[in-house]
A = this chain, B = another copy of it.
Amino acid sequence: MTDRLAAETIILGSTVLTSTEPGLPDYPRLRAENSAAGGVAHLLENHAIGIVGGEIAWVVPAAEVSDAEKHSAEVIDGTGQVAIPGLINCHTHSAMTMFRNSAEDVVTSTWFNDHIWPMEVNMTARDVRLGTQLAVAEMLLAGVTTFADHYFEMEQIAAVVEETGARGFLAQTYFSSQGEAGIQAAADFAEKWNGAAGGRVTTAMGPHAPYTVSDADLVTTAGHARRLGIRTHIHTSESPGQTTSSLERRGVTPVQVLHDTGIIETGVLIAHGAGIIEEDLRWLTPYSDRVAVACCDKVYLKHAQSGTTPVRMLHDAGITVGVGTDGPGSHNTLDVLESMRFLSLTEKDRHNDATWLTSQHALDLATRQSAAAIGQSGRLGALLPGYRADIALIDTRGPHMQPMHDLAAALVLSVKSSDVSTVLVDGRVVVRDHRLTTLDVEPAIAELNRRVPQLRDTSHGRRIQDYAP
């Protein structure tokens, strides 16, 4: 007999990535090769995870689990699998699946002004519903259990989170061009939905960016965030060009705008931050307990914007960095494992340092730090007692993962998201043996494909906003 809680669900016999931690913060001096500079991942072989009430109750060696315990629980066979914390997509516009591969091989200004913002004129609430269904299907199948969404018609997105059993950190987008109504609707959404779906929905304020939302509206935004006890999710310093432009136009960086309007003090998730400069650290570091930057490197390469999130500078300053995909209209997928790989390799390349951004560090970014980025430290991002049971089982037996020399490297540099076999959110199985259990996505795909011609018709000559950062 044990004094463990009787588990409702047991994942038996997998390797378990229980947690990661910062590792060696002074890596530039150590620089020992394979030193796991910047992150350490704890991996336990042949263990078992017991789940009670949607929470991880215990993690023990598989051999310690009694037959009685197995008989009274749903047992998920973890043989040949590694259990990792459910992945968190720290920045996306998930419904933009509807625009996947629709605006390719173009620069950012063309992408916005000639493609996406004209097409978004055509978009209906129904399209957002369908696009989000498609997105959640893609994400759950790829082990992404939580997504930080920033988009329009957020009630539709929240409804899909509720229906499918996924988890969302949701912020309704607004521009100042929408007037007061834009902010108010976003605040109303945030107030109504925070903590909904059994706690699987948390919310944030969603001003689009400092170049589309006025300082006055950012001050109002911070007021709502303070009142509701939530953070703000906002595009800021998306590229070096935006920082230069802001300095030229108004003498301050976009990050200083966030500071001066009170956004940083109330807690902020900065999307991209590829234009963050060293001087910005003075505004960010005092609030490192509530500030994070979401990095989506694949998009920065694709749009050739000549700048990526300064992960190393932020790391050295103690600022949290999460892994995101951006919307599938620019990233083409919602695959966080892919995004983590691009981050890892882009960082090595940018710094001409093959020993920087090790695979263990990448796992730390994608788990512990991504949870912190959406304000869920201690609740998500690790497989330890007391954490929510958001878990992705990854099959490591495929030929492309073998033989097994280094599981951390395999998870970052060899894995395919199709290796994700089983996924739980709050202890509920949402993907079993590569199949969704809560969603039939075929009708959404069919309906969206019928919508493609209308979505693409930009003969109206309008756009929802002008891109002139």
Identify the A interface with B (CB < 8 A): 33-34, 37, 97-102, 104-108, 110, 134-135, 137-138, 141-142, 298, 300-304, 306, 328, 332-335, 342, 345-346, 348-349, 351-356, 358-359, 397-400, 402-406, 409-410, 413-414, 416-418, 441, 445, 448-449, 451-452, 456
Partner among B110, B332, B346 whose Cβ is within 8 Å of the Cβ of A409:
B332
Q: A345-B298, A416-B418 are in contact. Are A105 and B402 (CB under 8 A)?
A: no
Partner among B106, B138, B354, B400 whose Cβ is within 8 Å of the Cβ of A34:
B106
B448 touches A402 (CB 8 A): yes
A304 touches B448 (CB 8 A): no
Q: Lowest 8 A-B CB distances belong to which pairs?
A: A418-B418, A332-B413, A101-B409, A102-B405, A301-B345, A301-B349, A138-B399, A304-B354
Kindly state the separation between the CA atoms of A14 and B390 in the bound complex, as whole angstroms: 38
Q: Which residues of B lie under 8 Å from residue A98 when comparing CB positions?
A: 403
Q: List 22 A-B contacts (CB under 8 A).
A: A33-B105, A33-B106, A97-B403, A100-B405, A101-B406, A101-B410, A102-B406, A104-B413, A105-B355, A105-B359, A137-B399, A304-B349, A304-B354, A304-B356, A306-B352, A328-B414, A332-B414, A333-B413, A399-B441, A402-B449, A405-B452, A416-B417
Q: A348-B302, A352-B306, A416-B416 are in contact. Are A445 and B402 (CB under 8 A)?
A: yes
Partner among B37, B348, B399, B404 whose Cβ is within 8 Å of the Cβ of A141:
B399
A330 to chain B, nearest CB (A): 10
Kindly state the separation between the CA atoms of A98 and B403 in the bound complex, as whole angstroms: 6
Q: Which residues of B lie under 8 Å from residue A34 when comparing CB positions?
A: 104-106
Nearest to A34 among chain B residues (CB) is: B105
A287 to chain B, nearest CB (A): 31
Q: A34-B104, A354-B106, A355-B106 are in contact. Are A452 and B302 (CB under 8 A)?
A: no
Kindly state the separation between the CA atoms of A452 and B407 in the bound complex, as whole angstroms: 14
A81 to chain B, nearest CB (A): 15
Kindly state the separation between the CA atoms of A37 and B414 in the bound complex, as whole angstroms: 31
Nearest to A436 among chain B residues (CB) is: B399
A352 to chain B, nearest CB (A): 5
Nearest to A448 among chain B residues (CB) is: B403
A100 touches B301 (CB 8 A): no
Kindly state the separation between the CA atoms of A335 and B413 in the bound complex, as whole angstroms: 11
Q: Which residues of B lie under 8 Å from residue A448 when comparing CB positions?
A: 402-403
Nearest to A306 among chain B residues (CB) is: B352
Kindly state the separation between the CA atoms of A107 and B352 in the bound complex, as whole angstroms: 9
Most buried by B among A334, A351, A418, A456: A418
A151 to chain B, nearest CB (A): 17
A107 touches B417 (CB 8 A): no
Q: Which residues of B lie under 8 Å from residue A104 when comparing CB positions?
A: 34, 358-359, 406, 409, 413
Q: Which residues of B lie under 8 Å from residue A332 when comparing CB positions?
A: 409-410, 413-414
A402 touches B358 (CB 8 A): no
B449 touches A403 (CB 8 A): yes
Kindly state the separation between the CA atoms of A346 and B345 in the bound complex, as whole angstroms: 11
A441 to chain B, nearest CB (A): 5
Contacts A100-B403, A105-B358, A302-B345 aside, 11 further interface pairs with beta carbons under 8 A come to A33-B106, A34-B104, A97-B402, A97-B403, A104-B413, A105-B355, A108-B354, A135-B399, A304-B351, A306-B352, A418-B418
A364 to chain B, nearest CB (A): 14
Q: Which residues of B lie under 8 Å from residue A348 when comparing CB positions?
A: 301-304
A403 touches B304 (CB 8 A): no
Q: Which residues of B lie under 8 Å from residue A417 when comparing CB positions?
A: 416
Q: Which residues of B lie under 8 Å from residue A108 when comparing CB positions?
A: 354
Most buried by B among A304, A359, A410: A304
A23 to chain B, nearest CB (A): 12
Q: Which residues of B lie under 8 Å from residue A402 when comparing CB positions?
A: 97, 100, 134, 445, 448-449
Partner among B33, B304, B353 whose Cβ is within 8 Å of the Cβ of A304:
B353
Kindly state the separation between the CA atoms of A301 and B346 in the bound complex, as whole angstroms: 7
Kindly state the separation between the CA atoms of A3 and B451 in the bound complex, as whole angstroms: 41
A208 to chain B, nearest CB (A): 21
Q: Which residues of B lie under 8 Å from residue A451 when comparing CB positions?
A: 403
A355 touches B107 (CB 8 A): yes
Q: Which residues of B lie under 8 Å from residue A403 when comparing CB positions?
A: 97-98, 100, 134, 445, 448-449, 451-452
